[in-house]
Structure 1
Amino acid sequence: MIDQEQVYQKISAVLVDLFEIDPAAIHPDAHLYEDLDIDSIDAVDLVVELKKLTGKKIKPEDFKSVRTVQDVVTEVEKLFG
């Protein structure tokens, strides 16, 4: 079983690798759109990467309410659970 910290580390790595976000800007309360400049196209790319990471199908409606890095961690944790 993967724990929340491991999920957080993996998501942080994806954000850094995929979107070249400064690791110092990534924290659980960081807003994807306002703080990290993730737009709707980037969000689709993020979901594709998370699908690769989890090996599970991700429903777009599961990510409609995602606003912060912690929200992403919570949703991904549900996929592993």
Structure 2
Amino acid sequence: MQNREEILAKLTDILVDDFEIDADDISLQASLYQELDLDSIDAVDLVIKLQQMTGKKIQPEEFKAVRTVEDVVNAIEGLINS
């Protein structure tokens, strides 16, 4: 999983399967909290899933700035390339 499309596809699978979000609602611009209705507990669960997906530790402070699906894709891309 190197490119943004693969990252977005995997993230979409996680959001649909684990958080019961309609795939049609997921876009790069979608807000995790307003549009996709994630709460702080969901965010923690998402970080855990992303750690499993990447095999890398995600620092909570790095994830606090994440607001949109694109922010998550960028964060994952940064982790993979670091």
TM-score by length of 2: 0.96
Aligned length: 81
Matched, 1:68 2:68: yes
1:38: Cα distance to partner? 0.2
Name the aligned partner's letter for residue 30 of structure 1.
Answer: A
Structure 2: any 5+ residue segments left out of the alignment? Answer: none
Aligned to 1:11: 11
Tell me the distance in 2 between the aligned counterparts of 1:14 and 1:62.
20
Moved over 4 A (4+): none
Distance in 2, matches of 1:63 and 1:57, equals 11
Alpha-carbon displacement from aligned partner over 1:32-57 (angstroms, at most 9, x marks no partner):
00000000000000000000000001
Q: Which has the higher contact order (CA 8 A, sep 6+)?
A: 1
TM-score of the superposed pair, with normalisation by structure 1: 0.98
Same amino acid, percent of matched pairs: 54
The alignment's C-alpha RMSD in Å is 0.8
1:28 matched residue in structure 2: 28
